[in-house]
Structure 1
Amino acid sequence: MKSAFFEKAQRFGKSFMLPIAVLPAAGLLLGIGGAFSNEATIEAYPFLDQPWLQAIFITMSSAGDIVFANLAVIFAVGVAIGLARSDKGTAGLAAMLGYLVMNATINAILTITGNLAPEEEMAEVGQGMLLGIQSLETGVFGGVVVGLMTYWLHNRYNKIELPRFLGFFGGSRFIPIITAFSSIILGLLLYIVWPSIQSVIFSMGGLIEATGYIGTLIYGFILRLLGPFGLHHIFYIPFWTTSLGGTMEIGGSIIEGTQRIFFAQLSEGSVDQFFIGTARFMSGRHITMMFGLIGACLAMYHMAKPENKKKVFGFLFSAALTSFLTGITEPIEFSFLFLAPLLYVVHAFYDGLAFMLAHIFEITIGQTFSGGFIDFVLFGVLQGNDKTNWMMVPVIGVPWFFLYYFTFRFAIGKFNLKTPGREEKNEAEMMEGTERAKAILDGLGGKINVKDLDSCATRLRVSVYSTENISKEKLEHTGAKGVVTSGNGVQVIYGPEVTGIKNEVEEAMGEND
C-alpha cells in the first residue's frame, strides 16, 4: 500500500518536470526585462530610457510574461501528458480543451448571474483574463485539477468501445469529448466553491496587520504556501496597493499601499529611511530567493545519484540563477513540492521567518514584482544603507543558505525523497539509444531474422523470417509493454515513444552493412 502510494506520488511529481523545464528561461526573460522596463525603475534611473534599450527589455519581458501568464494551462497539459501511460498527445489535447471549457463555463455563469466584473474591478473580486476568457482566478491550482481529471478520464475510457454506429468516436477519440462535458461540471463546482476560498485568503489580511512580528511571519508563510499555485497575487496585492499595507502623506498627497508608498518616496528623493511596511511585506523575499533556495538547489545536486548529477546540474543551476537574479522561484519549488510536501511546508516556514527578520532589522528594500538580485541592487544597494539597511540581507542570507542546505540534505537522505536525480529507474529506463536498440534486435532474433521494420502510433511492427527466434522476455526487458505474434508478424508495444525507438533500431541494423 505504502509502496503504491509513493510510486504514484513519484509519477505525479515527475509529470511536473515537463512544464517546469521551460520556467528558468522564461523567468530570466521576465525578470530582467520586467525590472528594467518598469516605469518606476526608468524614473529612478533615467539612463535606461533609451528607445533601443527599452525595445530589448520590453520584448524580453513580453516573451517571459506570456509563459507565466498562461502557467495554469501549461500545467494542465503537462500533468495530463506526464501521467498518461499511452496516447499522450490525446491526453494533452483533451486537457487543453478541458481548461478552455472550464473557464468558458465559469464565464457563462458569471455573465448569467450578473457577476462579471468590469475590467477595472476584476482584480478586486478575484477575476482575470485567461486565454481571452474572463473567469475566476484559480491559478495553477485550476490547471492541475483539469490535468488530473483528464488523466483519470483518459486512464478509464481510452479503450472504450461504443455501439457500431458511434464506433468512430470510441477509444482515444472519446477522451476529448468526455473531458469537455466533465469540464462543464468542474467549472460549475469551482464557481460555487472558489469564491469562498478567495474570501478566506482575503480575510487573512486583518489578522496579519494586527499581530506585529508574528503577523509578518504568518504573512510570509501564507504567501509562500500560495505561491506555486498562482494564488499569492490574491493575497499580497491588497498589502502592496491598498491601505491594508499602510498609509502615508507624501508630497501633499495621501498614498496607500506598501509598494505605492515606496515608489512615491523613491520619486520624492528626500527620505531618511523608507516606509517600514516595505520591511514587512517585501524585503524578506531577498533572503529566501537570493540565498535560501540556492542552498536548497546545492543540496538537491549533492544528493542526486552520481550517474545523474551531470544531467540535473543544468536544470538546478539555471533554476538557482533564475531565483537569485530575478526572484522567480517556481522552477525550484515545483521540483520538490509534490514529491516532498512536508519539506515545502518547512520552506514556507523559513520564508516566513525571513520576512519577520527583515521586519525586525528594518530592511526596507522595495521591488517591482519579486525579490531577486536586480531589485536588490536597484532599490537596496544604490539607495544607500541608511535608507534601506541592505547590508543585513547578506548577513542573514549566508546563514539562511546553510539552513536550507542542511535541512534539505538531511530530509532528502533521511526520508529518501525523490528529488531531481534520485528517481528510481527500472532496467528498461536505464537503456538508452544504441544499447536499447541492440537489445531489441537481440530479442527479435538478431538483425538477420528481421525482414521488415515499421511502426504505428504505439508499437513496432516487424516481419521476421522465423518467430521461433523471438524472445518475449528479452523484449520486455527493453521496456516493451507487450509482445504479440501472428504468423511471421511481430508487434512489440512500447507506447507513443515508439517512433524514436524504431529510428534507433533502424540505425543499429544499418551498422557494419
Structure 2
Amino acid sequence: MKKRSGLVNVFETFGRSFLLPVSVLPAAGILKGIGSAFTNASTIEMHPWMANQTLQIIMGFITMIGSVAFDNLPVIFAVGVVVGLAKQEKGSAALSGLLGFLVLHNTLHYLLSVSGQLVDKSAKNADQLMSLHMQTSVLGIQTMDLNVFGGIITGIVVYLVHKKAIKMQVPQVFGFFSGPRLVPILTIPAMALVALGFFFIWPYVQVGITALSFAILKSGYFGTFAYGVIERLLLPFGLHHGLNWPVRTTELGGIFTIDGHQYAGTINAYMAALQSKLPIDPMITRFSSGKFVYNMFGLPGAALAMYMTAKPEKKKMVGSLLLAAALTSFLTGITEPLEFTFLFVAPALYGVHALLVGTTMVVTNMVGAAFLTPTGHGLINFLIYGVLQGAKTHWWWLFILGVPCFIMYFLVFSFVIKKFNFKTPGREDDDETVALHGKDEVRAKLGVKTQKDRDQKNNMPPIHEHALALIAAHGGEGNISAVDACITRLRINVKDEDLVEKDRIVNQLNAMGFTKSGMQMQSIYGGYANQLKIEIQSILGLGE
C-alpha cells in the first residue's frame, strides 16, 4: 500500500487530539441531560409533580455541574488538545495550554480596547451588539468570539512550541529555564503573535466559516447522506474524529438561534434546545439521530444475517460471539467488534454498510427525529438524551424506524454474503478458527499505518544513542528503577550500584560531574539533563 500523505497524517493526528478534551463530555452530558429532563418547563407542565422545590434545586444543581464543561469548551480544548498531542512532559504542556489561552484572549481584549472596537457591556442591547461585532466573554475576558476554534488553535500552536522548546539547548547560564520550563516562557510571545494575527484575519475567517456552515445546512438530505457514508469510510483509518468533532463543537456543524441566542456546533445547540420550550430543530440532530438507529437495530440485523448464513456446525460457536457483539452495539453504541469483523473478511461488505448508514441517517432526519448525544449512540444514552427529555425529541421514531432498519440490514447482508460467498464468521474453511476481528488486526491486514504507528516507529531523536549509552552505563534496563532530573542533574535510581560505570559516564558520556545519594546516581549535564531524562524514560517506558 502506498505511503499515506502528510496531509492525511496531520488530519489523523488532529482528530486524535480531540479524544482527551471530548472525553469529559459524555459524563457532563449525562448530568446535564438528566437535570434538563426534570427542569424543562414543557416537561414540568406535563408532569406538575416535578415542580417540587426540593427536586428542582437538586436537578438544577446537577444541570449546573453538567453545564460547566459545555460552557467552557474553548479552554478545555486549549488544554486538552496540547496534552493529547504532546508525547512527553504533559504537565508542562497543560500549563502552557492554559497560559496560551489566557494570553490569546487578554491580548485580543487589549487590541479591541485600544482600537476603540470594544463593545460597551453596560449598554441595554449589549448582547445583540456583542453578537453583531463577534465579541463574547471568555473566563471573564471580553474578547473576540473565536468559539472552540480559539481553543483548538491554541492547543496546536502551544504543541508546536512545546515540541521544539522541550529539547532546545540553552546557554548553561540559563540552564534553569531549559526543558519544560522553557515551554510556557516561549508560549507567551508565540500566542501574543497569534492573537495579533487573529485580530486582523479572524473577521474574514469567520465570514468564511459562517458561509461554509450555511452551505452544510443547505446541503439538506444529500449532505446528511454524504456525512454518514464518509464518516464510516474514515473509521478504519482512524480519521473519523477529525470530521466528527468540528461538526459537534464548532460553527461547521451549524449556527442555530435558540430563544434569541446563537449556538455553534450541534452539541451546544442541542443542550440549549433541551432548555427551550420550542421544538428541537431536526437539523441540529441530523448527524446523530440516525446513528442510534443503525447501531441499535441495523448492526444487530447484520449480526443475525452472519449467523443465519453460517455453516450449521459452526452456528453454536458463532452465535455467542455475534450475540455479545450485537448487544454491545445495542446497549452502548460500541460497534467495533461487528464493523471491523466484516471489514476484515470482506471490505466490500463494509462499503455496503457505509451506504446503508447514509440511507438510515437521511430517513431518520426526514421524519423529524431529534435526539443527540455527545458520544456513544446506544440504548443507555438514548434513554438519557431521548426518552427522558420528553416528546420534543420525537424519541419514538427510533423504534418505528429501527425494525425496518433491522430488516433492511438483515436482507441486504444475507444476500451479499451468499451472492459473493464472503467468509463471514461461521463460513470460514474447516481449518480456520471462528473469531471476530479488531481494528489492529484489520489495519495490519490492509496495510494501513496510523500516525500513532508512525510515531512509535520513527521517534528517534538525536540524543537517542546518548540515552542508550547511559542506560548501559547504569547496568542496563533491568538495573534501573526510576529516572528523574532537576535543573542540572540526571538522577537515575539503580538496584545494584556496582554495575554503574561511573568513569565511563564522566570520561566518555560527557557528564560534567558524577555523585550519588544512596542508590540514586546523579550525573551533571546542565540544562541537557532534562532532555536526557525524557529520552531515557521514553526508551524504558517509565512514567514521568
Instruction: Identify whether the pair has TM-score above 0.5, normalized to the shorter chain.
Output: yes
Alpha-carbon displacement from aligned partner over 1:284-343 (angstroms, at most 9, x marks no partner) = 63222464499899x9xxxxxxxxxxxxxxxxx99997879xxxxxxxxxxxxxxxxxxx
2-structure distance, mates of 1:119, 1:136: 13
Q: Secondary structure at the match of 1:495?
A: helix
SS in 2 for 1:363: coil
Residue aligning to 1:269: none
Residue 444 of structure 1: SS of its match in structure 2?
A: coil
Alpha carbons of 1:278 and 1:154: their partners in 2 closer, same or farther (altered >3 Å)? closer
- The 5-angstrom pairing of residues 54-203 of structure 1 reads 54-111=56-113, 112-116=115-119, 118-123=126-131, 126-160=134-168, 168-203=176-211
1:356–1:413 CA distance, 2 compared to 1 (3 A)? farther
> What residue is the counterpart of 1:228 in the other structure?
245
Q: Is the 8 A contact 1:216 1:280 kept in 2?
A: no
| Aligned equivalents of 1:221, 1:412: Cα separation in 2 | 19
1:26 alignment counterpart: 28
Which shows bigger deviation, 143-152 or 78-87?
78-87
Letter in 2 for 1:185: L
In structure 1, the residue matched to 2:384 is: 374
* Paired residue secondary structure (1:135): strand
Structure-1 residue corresponding to 2:498: 465
Show the counterpart of 1:456: 485
Please say if residues 37 and 388 of structure 2, whose CA atoms lie closer than 8 Å, have aligned partners that are also in contact. no
**Is the 1:72–1:144 Cα contact (8 Å) retained in structure 2?**
yes
Q: Does 1:495 align with 2:534?
A: yes
Deviates more, 1:99-108 or 1:185-194: 185-194
Alignment CA distance shift 1:169-1:486 (3 Å) = closer
Letter in 1 for 2:475: L
Change (3 A) 1:396 1:381: farther
> Are residues 367 and 296 of structure 1, via their aligned partners in 2, closer, same or farther at CA, if it must alter by over 3 Å?
closer
C-alpha separation in 1, matches of 2:127 and 2:450: 42
In structure 2, the CA distance between the partners of 1:75 and 1:384, relative to structure 1 (3 Å rule), is: closer
Give the distance between the partners of 1:71 and 1:31, measured in 2 at CA: 17
* Contact 1:30-1:63 within 8 A present in 2 as well: yes
Point out where structure 2 has 5 or more consecutive residues left out of the alignment. 232-240, 263-271, 303-326, 335-351, 376-380, 414-435, 460-470, 524-531
Q: Once the 2 structures are TM-superposed, how far is the Cα of residue 208 of structure 1 from its aligned partner?
A: 7.0
Once residues 455 and 409 of structure 2 are traced to their aligned partners in structure 1, the CA distance between those partners, rounded to angstroms, is: 28
Could you report, residue by residue, the CA deviation over 1:215-269 in whole angstroms, capped at 9, with x for unpaired residues? 776899999987613654675443655799xxxxxxxxxxxxx969x9457xxxx
The amino acid that maps onto 1:358 is T
Counterpart in 2 of 1:444? Answer: 475
What SS class does the counterpart of residue 374 from structure 1 fall into?
helix
> Retained in 2: the 8 A contact 1:220–1:355?
yes
Q: Counterparts of 2:374 and 2:482 in 1: how far apart (Å)?
A: 55
CA apart distance, 1:98:
0.5
Q: Give the direction of change, closer, same or farther, for the CA distance of 1:321–1:80 in structure 2 (3 Å limit).
A: farther
Q: Deviation of residue 99 (structure 1)?
A: 1.0
User: Which amino acid counterpart does residue 144 of structure 2 have in structure 1?
Assistant: L
Secondary structure of the equivalent of 1:36?
A: helix
In the TM superposition, residue 186 of structure 1 has moved relative to its aligned partner by 0.9
Deviation at 1:349, TM superposition (A): 9.5
Structure 2 vs 1, CA of residues 453 and 264 (structure 1 numbering), >3 Å: closer, same or farther? closer
Instruction: Give the match for residue 511 of structure 1.
Output: none
Deviation string, structure 1 residues 67-120 (Cα, Å, up to 9, x no partner): 233233233223333443443322221121011111222233333342537235
Residue 142 of structure 2 aligns to a residue in which SS? strand
Tell me by how many angstroms 1:377 deviates.
2.3
Partner of residue 338, structure 1? none
SS in 2 for 1:142: helix
Question: Separation in 1 of the partners of 2:474 and 2:83?
Answer: 29
Letter in 2 for 1:456: A
User: Any residues of structure 2 matched to 1:37-48 within 5 Å, and which?
Assistant: 37-48=39-50
Mapped to 2, the partners of 1:293 and 1:185 lie a distance apart of 48
Counterpart contact for 2:289–2:365, Cα < 8 Å: no
Partner Cα distance (1:225, 1:3) in 2 = 16
The verdict on how the C-alpha distance between 1:241 and 1:124 changes in structure 2, with shifts beyond 3 A counting, is farther
Asked if structure 2 preserves the Cα contact closer than 8 Å seen for 1:459 and 1:498, the reply is no
Question: Is the CA contact (8 Å cut-off) linking 1:380 and 1:390 kept in structure 2?
Answer: no
> In the alignment, residue 498 of structure 2 is paired with which amino acid?
Y
Q: Residue 534 of structure 2 aligns to a residue in which SS? A: coil
Structure-1 separation of matches of 2:151 and 2:500: 47
> SS at the partner of 2:288?
helix
The more displaced of 74-83 and 173-182 is 74-83
CA distance in 1 between partners of 2:392 and 2:82 (Å): 46
TM-score of the superposed pair, with normalisation by structure 1: 0.58
Partner of residue 256, structure 2? 238
Question: 1:54 Cα deviation (Å)?
Answer: 2.6
**Displacement after TM superposition at 1:183 (Å):** 0.6
Q: How far does the alpha carbon of each residue in 1:450-494 deviate from its partner, in whole angstroms, 9 at most, with x for none?
A: 9x988435752448224369999xxxxxxxxx9979768656955
Number of aligned residue pairs: 412
Pairing partner for 1:356 from 355, 362, 368 = 362
Structure 2 distance, partners of 1:77, 1:4, is: 28
Query: Percent identity of the aligned residues?
Result: 28
After TM superposition, give the deviation of residue 179 of structure 1 in Å: 0.8
1:332 is matched with none
* Aligned 8 A contact 2:217 2:254 in 1: no
Deviation at 1:149, TM superposition (A): 1.6
User: In 2 relative to 1, CA 159–227 (structure 1 residues): closer, same or farther, beyond 3 Å?
Assistant: closer
| Contact persistence 1:208–1:218 (CA under 8 A) | no
Output the amino acid matched with 1:228.
Answer: W
Structure 2 distance, partners of 1:357, 1:51, is 41
Q: Give the match's secondary structure for 2:256.
A: helix
The 1:97–1:187 alpha-carbon spacing in structure 2 relative to 1, beyond 3 Å, is same
Residues in 2 aligned to 1:15 and 1:471: alpha-carbon distance in whole angstroms: 41
SS of corresponding position for 1:31:
helix
Q: Provide the alpha-carbon RMSD of the alignment.
A: 6.0
Mapped to 2, the partners of 1:237 and 1:184 lie a distance apart of: 28
1:8-34 per-position Cα deviation (integer Å, ceiling 9, x unaligned): 777666554443443332232222223
Q: Which amino acid aligns with 1:183?
A: M
Equivalent residue letter for 1:467: V
